[in-house]
Amino acid sequence: MKTKPWGQLFLERNGIRNTQARRAILEVMGQNPGHLSTEEVYRKVNERYPHIGLTTVYRTLNILSRIGVVGRFNFGEGKARYELIDGPNGPPHHHHLVCSRCGSIHDYTDFVEEELELMHKTERALSDRYDFRINKHILHFYGLCGECSETSE
Amino acid sequence: MKTKPWGQLFLERNGIRNTQARRAILEVMGQNPGHLSTEEVYRKVNERYPHIGLTTVYRTLNILSRIGVVGRFNFGEGKARYELIDGPNGPPHHHHLVCSRCGSIHDYTDFVEEELELMHKTERALSDRYDFRINKHILHFYGLCGECSETSE
DNA sequence: TTACGTGCAAAAGCTTTGCAGCTCC
DNA sequence: GGAGCTGCAAAGCTTTTGCACGTAA
């Protein structure tokens, strides 16, 4: 039972026009899990829709992250990375392990449950104390991955 | 009892030359707690040492963050921010509350103890399971600060 | 129809690099 | 003396913006 793709519902629901470029970008994001840079999204979109420009990808990813369809991450490389947040093709909530040397990024979900419990508790406490309305958190662990720690002194 | 400034010990210990520019940058970082951008560090350094250039500040902050004297953060503004990590003038370990609208950053230490306990436990578990040698973590909460949530619909 | 979206080119940051001269050890 | 550091200018990247044209609703 094929219904209208999820991403498009999101566009309509947010009063944003459902254009080919946006469908294409959502399609690519759905088929490529992982943390894609704008350039990477652009290249994949461009394979199938050569007329769609890089500027549009930038603009679209900005919109999508603003309305919460994709998450925007920054792993200290000097450029943003994006990932579908939710829906049928989206990954479950996870946290990140980033290798400081080779830049590889590993998602993990194993301990997230336990972490989330504390996070939410903390979020409530912080909201109360600092008058801050929290809607998202980012937890990154940095270190050396297995390969890189072998080749280091 | 005034002894040799802490930052300089760090330089020597890492086999990095103790130059005026580096002393100046460490001095400024020590006197200005908070998350300074490279430009901000440069301007403050430049007030007292007008001959020190922006390039040197970039290069020095890179070195200092590599050897672990300063922490490098990215709050999604498209530029890095730095902060003295430890030592006599450094702030205690803390986490961040970032306002998505106005960009203000609030440090908190209140709940960090409890968080750290879980973080360290998680770090150990992740190290074992994913063969990852973790040496640092970043926890950011994003949301709206009091002022900004008043002025939003 | 018309407000919104897009492509292209140009511009605007932030950050790094090349190179000649200077400085710490 | 020599390796390492610095300043300046130039270049490199990512990201944004201006504008004329195109397109969804």
Q: Given this model, what pLDDT does residue A133 score? A: 92
Residue B70 tokens, joined: 């300063």
Give the pLDDT score at A49.
Answer: 97
Tokens of B47: 């007030």
CA distances from B101 to A69, A152, B149, B152, B153 (A): 18, 41, 9, 10, 13
pLDDT-derived band at A84, boundaries 50, 70, 90: very high
A130/B97 touch (CB, cutoff 8 Å), yes or no: yes
B96's enclosing H/E stretch is strand B95-99
> B38-42: which pairs have CB atoms within 8 A and are 24 or more residues apart?
B38/B79, B38/B80, B38/B82, B39/B79, B41/B82
| Cα distances (angstroms) measured from residue B91 to each of A40, B27, B66 | 38, 15, 19
Question: Scanning the structure block, which residue is given the tokens 């040397």?
Answer: A101
In angstroms, the separation between the Cα of residue B57 and the nearest Cα of chain A is 17
The two structure tokens encoding residue A58: 């930038």
- Residue A101: φ, ψ to 5°: -90, -60
Does the pTM surpass 0.95? The reply is no
What mean pLDDT value characterizes chain B? 89
Dist. CA A1–CA A3, nearest whole Å = 6
Higher pLDDT among residues A152 and B96, named by residue: B96
* Angstrom distance (rounded) from CA B48 to CA B57: 14
CB proximity A68–strand C (7 Å threshold): no
Mean pLDDT of A123-137: 92
pLDDT (average), residues A101-126: 89
- Judged by average pLDDT, the poorest of A4-8, A60-64, B63-67 is A4-8
Res. A153 pLDDT band, cuts 50 70 90 = very low
Residue A2: band (very low, low, confident or very high) from pLDDT cuts 50, 70, 90 = low
Do residues B61 and B39 touch, judged by C-beta distance below 8 A?
A: no
Residue A60's nearest CA partner among A119, A88, A19 is A19
* Banded pLDDT at B53 (limits 50, 70, 90): very high
pLDDT at A1 over 60: no
Task: Residue A20: name the closest of A60, A68, A55 by CA.
Answer: A60
d(CA B18, CA B44): 19
Asked if pLDDT for residue B132 goes beyond 80, the answer is: yes
Encode pLDDT of B13-33 as tens digits: 888 999 999 999 999 999 998
Three-state secondary-structure class, residue A113? helix
User: Is any atom of strand D within 7 angstroms of residue A38's beta carbon?
Assistant: yes
pLDDT at A122: 92
Per-residue confidence at B149, pLDDT binned at 50, 70, 90? Answer: confident
User: Contact at 8 Å (CB) between A46 and A21?
Assistant: no
Q: What is the token pair recorded at A81? A: 């990375």
Amino acid whose CA is nearest the C1' of C4? A17
CA-to-CA separations, A41 to A25, A54, A58, A120, in angstroms, rounded = 7, 9, 9, 32
Counting residues of chain A whose pLDDT is more than 90, the rounded percentage is 66
Cα separation, B3 vs B56, whole angstroms: 26
Nucleotides of D under 7 A from a protein CB: 4-10, 13-18, 23-25
pLDDT at A35: 95
A99 touches chain B (CB under 8 A): yes
B102-122 pLDDT per residue, tens: 888 999 988 888 889 999 999
According to the model, what pLDDT value does residue B86 have? 67
pLDDT (mean) for A45-55: 97
The residue that leads in pLDDT, A5 or A45, is A45
pLDDT number for residue B15: 85
Which of helix, strand or coil describes residue B10? helix
Does A23 score more than 50 pLDDT?
Answer: yes
Does the pLDDT of residue A91 top 80, yes or no?
A: no
